[in-house]
Amino acid sequence: MKKLSAFVVIVSLVLFSCKDKAQTEKTVNEKAANKIEVIDFHSTHRCMTCKAIEANTKYTLYTYFASELKNN
């Protein structure tokens, strides 16, 4: 019976001690979710698909996110 009680106490402590950390991580992730980062990388040879993806990305950014781009 003592082993069961000790186990319950230890499990409870672990669960409650991890709660604050998870809440903090969620807050950080929510703040980061308000930002879009576009990374453009390619090799020296670019195929037709790569060029099409770049063109569509630029179109989307300049059409739908023009004010955000202007405000950095």
Contact 44, 36 (CB under 8 A): no
Nearest to 68 by CA among 37, 33, 29: 37
Let me know whether 42 and 14 are in one domain: no
Given a cut of 70, whether residue 67 has pLDDT beyond it is yes
Q: Which residue has the tokens 């979710």?
A: 33
| pLDDT recorded at residue 32 | 59
More confident residue, 36 or 67: 67
Let me know whether 25 and 9 are in one domain: yes
Let me know whether 1 and 27 are in one domain: yes
Q: Over the stretch 8-45, which tens digit does the pLDDT of each residue have?
A: 777 776 666 665 555 556 666 666 566 777 787 777 88
pTM of the model: 0.45
| pLDDT recorded at residue 69 | 83
